[in-house]
Structures are given as structure tokens and as C-alpha cells.
Chains A and B, each alone.
Chain A
Amino acid sequence: MLNELLNFTCKQLRDKIAGGSVKSVDATGAVLDQIEKLDPDIGAYISTCREQALETARSIDKKIANGEPVGALAGVPIAVKDNMCTSFGATTCASKILQNFKSPYDAYVIDKLTGADAVIVGKCNMDEFAMGSSTENSGIQQTANPWDITRVPGGSSGGSTAAVAARMCFGALGSDTGGSIRQPASFCGVVGLKPTYGRVSRFGLVAYGSSLDQIGPVTRDVADSALLLNVISGRDERDSTCVSKDIAGDCDYLAEIDKPVDGLRIGIVSEFNKGADADVQKAIVAAIDVYKQLGAEIIEIEMPHFEYAIAAYYVIATAEASSNLARYDGVHFGHRTSAPKDYVEVYSKSRAEGFGSEVKRRIMLGTFVLSSGYYDAYYLRALKVRNLIRGDFTNAFAKTDCIMMPVSPTTAFKKGEKTADPLQMYLADVYTIAANLAGIPGISIPCGFDASDLPIGLQILSDVFTEDKLLRIARMFEAKTDFHTKTPTVIA
């Protein structure tokens, strides 16, 4: 039997806890029990912090009992992807090279969560260094999709989305470099938001592709997504790419979440949809019909450079990764090989032993495209194509409020189905990657199920720094449908 406390959204739970009708320690206990019950089969958590979570919950309950003011997530149990540094427990990035790494500081988003009185319950599994689309590249453990445990949860934030779907937390943070929040959210039937690049500080996020990485919320509904974005966004002087309020705007995303966007103009590229499985196509068409019934205007747009996004991405992201991951040198932190014959081996053997094969593949590709003689042909050309892709979006948003398309061409695939051919795995990112190259925000919301009862996600993209509008558009659909209220049978 599901503990009924677990049915509350973050917002509902926070209001109950702040109002004194529910104790955080009970909600936290329910989450920890749920983890104990389900996580042996799901594998969403790399680590949990039971005692610390209960202690935090008790201290928040005490604050409330004393009539002290509490934050926007008071007493709400939240999980974070294990590439966000925490000064408690380990921060592994699901890599053997960081298996015993204990961060001396908290990431900005951790500061923000604890500042809002959230209760952090654990750290979620992911593809190693966030490189992957199925969480199968984790060097620590495998994660199952709560809707069908023979299938992947998507990736790379698959632990975060599986934890939310299986009610093993009320909300979670993921990170999105090429779709790593949106695609697993779609596979797990939850809401995943990638904010505008620069909206959320990357301080304390283990770097993969620094010009693409962005942290965002994974939640059960759109209002919770707005609530979490309220908490984690904002200027941070420790991330020079984190944008100030005069550029990024400053608003309460939750305040007008139920206000529909008047005269909504939705851009679509009919051809894109045809690349998806029949069930996915059907669900996307039906979702857009819901918006039509709400009075939205559908505008056919052209995005001539969209099809080059995967090629450009795997040059740019791997180039940045090869540089970022140079810091794993066997000297400062992380794994060191046991008997190096010289200092070069400290480097090359420690890395060989610590990194998994996808990480090695991307370091190799990134090093190659940056190497002498190939830089102009690959890296520079990819940066130019990135500009063309951004131009496609600029043109599209001149005449639309948002663009809608699938999140992924398929629903959750079987474990092991795509691991043999890395290129095939990359090609599955076709719909999500362009948003990262252009820096725009994107959201995945539940919009249907396929013939096997696996969730399908609708992707909505909007212009930079328009998350307020994006969330309202997403909420318009959610208010008219009940897909987001469906739950996997595993939790019943």
C-alpha cells in the first residue's frame, strides 16, 4: 500500500507542512520507507542520507512549531543527481574515478535547496559524467524504469526521473546537456524542465559540456517545476555565465502558472513528427489538438539546420568534455592507479582504470576534433553550424510563442537494446539537442501512453529567458488532461 502522504505534490506537501497538518519527519520517513521498499528493484539512488534527512526534517518541524518563518520547500524531501557536489556523503558522478570523492563544498543549487528548507534525501544514479541517454553508462549501478523494470529510465538523469516516478522523493534535480532532463522525464512519465542556459548557476555541478550544461527540476507536475525553478534560479557570482536579473528577468514562476497564454501561437515542423514511432506521433498530434481546442494558432515553421544538431553537438560537447575531464589526473582527487612506473602512468593508467567506455569514447572524439589539423574541419565548423541552428530558433520565435515536437522518437527501450552501437544511441537525441546548442529552455510533459502503457512526452521549447511563458503553456495542457496523474503499477 502506498503511503498516502506520497500522493502530495511538492507544493501541496509544503503547504501542509508549513500549516502544521503534516510533519516533515513523517513525509521524510514515508519517502525513506518507499526507497527501502522499491529501490532494490529500481536502483535510482547511488546513496541516501537517512539520518541527516530525518534530522533536518525534525528541525524544520520544530521551526514550524515555534512559529518561525520557513522556506518555499519547507520539509519537502528532494533528491539530486549525483553530479551535484554535496559537502555530505560522496559525489560520484556515477564514475569509478570519483567513487570516493567527498566534496569540500556544496553546489549552488544545494545551498538554494537547503536555504529553502528542503530535505535532501539522496543522490541519484546517472550515466557516468552525464554522458548517455539510458543511465546504462553508470559505473556504479543500473537503474530500471518504474513503468517496466526491463526497460531503461532514459538518461542521463535517469535516477532522478525514476525516483520521482516511483514516489521515492517529491521532486528532484537533474542536469541537461543534450536532453538529459527532458528525455528521461518523457520515458518515466514526469515533468522535466531544462532552463535557459545561464538561468541556474553551475557552481558545484561536475562539468561535462560547459557551454551546454544546465541544471533543472524533475517533478510530477508543472506547478512543482515552477516552484523548484523559483528556488534554484538566480545570479551567482561563482558562475560567470550565470546571468544577472536585468538580463534574465526576475519573476515568481508559480504566481501566474494557471493563467493561460492569450493568442498562443505554436510552431510545428510536420516533418519532424514523422521521424517518431507511430504511437508517439499519434500522442503528439492529439496533444497539439488539445491546444487547438484551447484556441491556439498552429503555425508551420521551417528549421532547415535542425537536422545538423546531433553532428554539431557531438563535436562541441565532446571537445568541451575532453578539456573538462583533463582534471582527472590521479593527483588532486579521484582514483589513482596502484603501481605507476612514472608520472605519465599516474595520469594515463588512472584514467584508463577510472573511466568507463562511453567516457573514454567521448574524450577520444573530443581530443580528435580539437587536435592539430582537424580543429578547423570539425570543431570550428560545428561552432558555425551552432550559429545557424540558433538562427533557426530566432526566426521561429519571431512568429511563434513556442515550438512543439516529440521529446524522443521512441518510448523507453529495453535494457541493452542500444548499448552495442554508440552512434544509434546518439541519434535518439535528435529532438532534444538543438535546445542546448541554442541555449533555449525546454520542457517535457506527459502527453500519452504507447500500446505497452509506456509514457510519452511532449516537448515544448520557447525563446531564451521565457520560462514563465513556457511553464504557463505547459500548464494549459496539464489542466485539460490527466496523463500526469497516472502512476506506474510498481508503486501501487
Chain B
Amino acid sequence: MAKKIDETQVRKVAKLARLELTDSEVGQFSGELSAIIEYIEKLNELDVEDVEPLAHCLPIHNVFRDDVVKPSLDNEQAIANAPDRHDGYFKVPKVLDDTSGA
């Protein structure tokens, strides 16, 4: 039987998820995810035509509060965990040189 998610699809999804996978992981995930998705398709047994989707189990609504400044992290605390930083900013490699179009 054809796999529910073949290696080409695995690579595409990995790119969407910004997750670099090794060739062996691509093969492994194709097999494992196909088995899981096949199981998930059990959901197709049910008629859900007239059922409302339930994203959240309790009624939720926007919560408003007054627009008042409250204590928050200062700059040093906010970037304290950054892997690389410069003058109080997060530091990353150059973005403009990238031509991959990603």
C-alpha cells in the first residue's frame, strides 16, 4: 500500500517546520507518520457534516484590561538567555545575503 506520507512530503513538511532532517530521519518519519496518519483516519468513520468544530472546551472571549503600563522585563532580563547578542539586541547572521528565497 502507498504510504500516507512519502519521503518527498516529509521533506516538504520538514521545511515548513524549519526542521533539518537527516536522510535516515526522513525515511523513519515517512514510515512512522504514515502509520499514525492511517490510524488517525479512523476519524473518517464518523459523520461530522453538521457538527461545529470545538477549538476550546470552555467558552472563551477576548479579555480586556485598561491600557496601563505594568512592570515587565527590562532589556537585560529579556535578552539574558539569547545565544548571541550585541549592544542589548539579539544578534543573528546576515539576512540580506540570503538568496534561497525561503
Contact = CB atoms under 8 A, between A and B. Distances in A.
Contacts of A40: none
12 contacts: A105-B73, A331-B82, A342-B97, A351-B19, A355-B19, A357-B25, A360-B21, A361-B29, A364-B13, A364-B29, A382-B40, A422-B32
A347 B54 contact: no
A380 interface: yes
Of B40, B51, B93, B94, most buried by chain A (CB within 10 Å of CB) is B40
Interface residue SS majority, chain A? helix
Given A334-B81, A390-B54, A305 B17 contact: no
B69 interface: no
B83 A331 contact: yes
Interface residue SS majority, chain B? loop
A48 interface: no
A348 B80 contact: no
A102 B53 CA distance: 38
Interface stretch (A30-38, A109-117, A308-316): A308-316
Contact of B98 (A101, A308, A342): A342
Interface string B37-80: 10111111110100111111110100101000000010001101
A368 B57 contact: no
A197 B58 CA distance: 8
Nearest to B21: A352
Interface residues of B, number: 55
Interface string A91-106: 0000000001110110
A94 B13 CA distance: 25
A312 B68 CA distance: 41
A38 B52 CA distance: 51
B58 A243 contact: yes
A349 B22 CA distance: 11
Contacts of A305: 46
Nearest to A367: B17
Interface of B: 5, 9-10, 13-14, 16-21, 25, 29, 32-33, 35-37, 39-46, 48, 51-58, 60, 63, 65, 73, 77-78, 80-84, 90, 92-95, 97-98, 100, 102
Interface in A295-342: 305, 308, 310-312, 314-315, 322, 326, 329-336, 340, 342
Given A336-B83, A343-B92, A371-B16, 10 more contacts: A197-B58, A334-B81, A347-B18, A361-B29, A368-B33, A369-B40, A384-B52, A387-B51, A422-B36, A423-B36
B91 to A, nearest CB: 8
B21 A368 contact: no
Interface of A: 100-102, 104-105, 197-198, 211, 237, 240-241, 243, 305, 308, 310-312, 314-315, 322, 326, 329-336, 340, 342-349, 351-352, 355, 357, 360-361, 363-365, 367-369, 371, 378, 380-388, 390, 422-423, 426, 437-439, 464
Contact of A384 (B21, B51, B90): B51
Contacts of A383: 53-55
Nearest to B40: A311
B20 A352 contact: yes
Contact of A241 (B32, B56, B83, B90): B56
Given A240-B60, A340-B93, A351-B18, A384 B81 contact: no
A371 B102 CA distance: 17
B88 to A, nearest CB: 14
Given A311-B39, A343-B92, A381-B48, A348 B18 contact: yes
Counting from the closest, the 6 A-B pairs by CB-CB distance are A439-B57, A336-B83, A333-B81, A383-B53, A387-B54, A384-B48
B55 A211 contact: yes
Nearest to B17: A367
Contact of B57 (A384, A388, A438): A438
Nearest to B29: A364
